[in-house]
Amino acid sequence: MNLAVRDVRHNLARFSLTTVGIGMLLMIVMGMGGIYRGLIEDAVLLVNRIDADLWIVQHGTRGPFAEISRIPRSLEDRLLVVPGVQSARAFVSHTVQREHGGKPLRMVVNGLSWPQDDGSWLPLVAGRPLEAAHYEMIADKLLGLQLGETLELGKDVYRVVGLTQGMIGQGGDGLAFFTVPDALAIQFDSSAEAIRLERFARKARAVKDDIGKMQPMLMDKAELPSRELPAVPRAMISAVVVKAAPGRDPLEIAELISGWKDVSVHTSDEQKELLLKGTVDRARRQIGLFTALLVLISAIIMALIIYTLTLDKTRDIAMLKLMGARDSVILSLILQQAVLLGGLGYVLAYYFGQWIFPHFPRRVIIMHEDLLRLGMIVIAISVLSSLLGIWKAMKIQPNEVLS
């Protein structure tokens, strides 16, 4: 006769409410693991999607995701002539926050090397890739933009021509894709007043400098737009992504490029490693500690619940002992209830999570191995939490029936 099930059936409402509580607690534990997985997935998503073999960044930096990297766009052409390089594409990435529809809109602006790269590799759920050199964008659905909607960024207006789903940056912001010139225009947009002031400042510097005195003609050019001045460098890009030709070893190409003194080379795996170690590692440890604390709290709460359930049955356990029931009968009653509580709580946690996690602002990814690990932890804490109740039950004397 299964006493645990009969007791649960008799106290169904209380047991159900307790299980729901445990389930919600375990859902949070499950969610924390899922948030961690989401962080990792989001961090390496772009690197994975771009599918490059090598990332060429500013010398001595770990850009473009871990830190700022600035390299000239001409590097794209230099790399294209390196033996074994199939393609080299400029890459720009930076985060902007603007007002749109009265709400803050935060997005990661990515530049695609159009027309070689029109974004057709993106997981489009609506619309099309980029078809024009300017004023088109592909946005992730997370940004809340609709297909055909226009968005003013800097001095220009961009039309959403394609929508992706699940393209999220390491900070949890949705990704938006433009051509490289548009992405740079958004990044280096200055107000007219700022441009005017810069021109005056440039002229003032030239006046003070020897070169201004020796070559007065330069004074006339000092106030021209910067794009018309060869001495003023062009806007810099973040990186160049390189794809090796079929059959060529990317490491050989990397070795060759690493001899260049103005750039650093990272393979895709190194880039992911940098991302995970640099930006995600602290979050990982924070989440790990928080999850461990939650597991501990769950175990304590479960232990208290099982202890209380045992206290409620003091007289019944005393009667069982008086009738000569073996310790195993009583132990099994408590242990089965603890495992039932933990097991049902775990199942509820899973279903609650399936329902709630999609509404979280950041991705929560629940993987099978995480579910399995949590399942084993739940069994372990169920058994551990029952120890307090078992200890209490073992101390109950049969003569307590008489009290």
Nearest-approach distance from CB 10 to other proteins, in angstroms: 3
The correct pick among 1, 13, 192, 217 for binding other proteins (CB under 8 A) is 1
Q: How far is the CB of 379 from other proteins (least distance, A)?
A: 25
374-380 long-range contacts (CB < 8 A, ≥24 apart) are 374/26, 374/29, 374/30, 374/33, 374/346, 375/346, 377/295, 378/26, 378/342, 378/343, 378/345, 378/346, 379/339, 379/342, 379/343
Nearest Cα to Cα of residue 68 among 239, 319, 275: 239
Q: Which of 10, 103, 208, 227 is the binder for other proteins (CB under 8 A)?
A: 10
Least distance from C-beta 321 to other proteins, angstroms? 7
User: Taking a C-beta distance cutoff of 8 angstroms, is the pair 33, 374 a contact?
Assistant: yes
Question: Which residue, 8 or 242, is less far from other proteins as judged by CB?
Answer: 8
Closest CB 5 distance from other proteins, rounded Å: 10
Minimum gap (Å) between residue 309 Cβ and other proteins = 11
Beta bridge partners of 99: 104
11 touches other proteins by CB under 8 A: yes
Using the rule CB under 8 A, give the single segment among 2-10, 84-92, 240-248, 298-306 that binds other proteins.
Answer: 2-10
Q: CB of 340: closest distance to other proteins in angstroms? A: 14
At its nearest, how many Å lie between other proteins and the CB of residue 348? 23
Sign of the four-CA dihedral 308, 313, 315, 320: negative
- Measured from the CB atom, the residue of 86 and 399 that comes closer to other proteins is 399
Q: Which stretch binds other proteins (CB under 8 A): 5-13, 22-30, 46-54, 202-210?
A: 5-13
Of the two residues 80 and 322, which places its CB atom closer to other proteins in the complex?
322
Side chain identity at 357, as an amino acid letter?
F
Closest by CA to 371, choosing from 63, 8, 31, 19, is 31
Of 82-90, 195-203, 214-222, 395-403, the window that binds other proteins (rule: CB under 8 A) is 395-403
Q: How many CB atoms lie within 10 A of CB 237?
A: 27
Residue 398 near other proteins by CB under 8 A: yes
Q: Pick between residue 101 and residue 324 the one whose CB is nearest to other proteins.
A: 324
Cβ-based neighbour number of residue 381 at 10 Å: 23
Contact between 237 and 71 under an 8 Å Cβ cutoff? The reply is yes
Which residue from 74, 97, 165, 399 is in contact with other proteins, where contact means CB under 8 A? 399
- Taking the least distance from each CB to other proteins, the nearer of 124 and 325 is 325
The pair of structure tokens assigned to 134 is 């300017």
Residues 315-344 that bind other proteins (CB under 8 A): 315-316, 319-326, 329
What is the nearest approach in angstroms of other proteins to the Cβ of residue 3? 8
Question: SS3 string of 3-56?
Answer: HHHHHHHHCHHHHHHHHHHHHHHHHHHHHHHHHHHHHHHHHHHHHHHHCCCEEE
Binders of other proteins among residues 300 to 319 (CB under 8 A) are: 315-316, 319
* Residue with smaller CB distance to other proteins, 370 or 400: 400
Question: Where do contacts with other proteins occur on this chain (CB under 8 A)?
Answer: 1, 3, 6-7, 9-11, 315-316, 319-326, 329, 398-399, 401-402
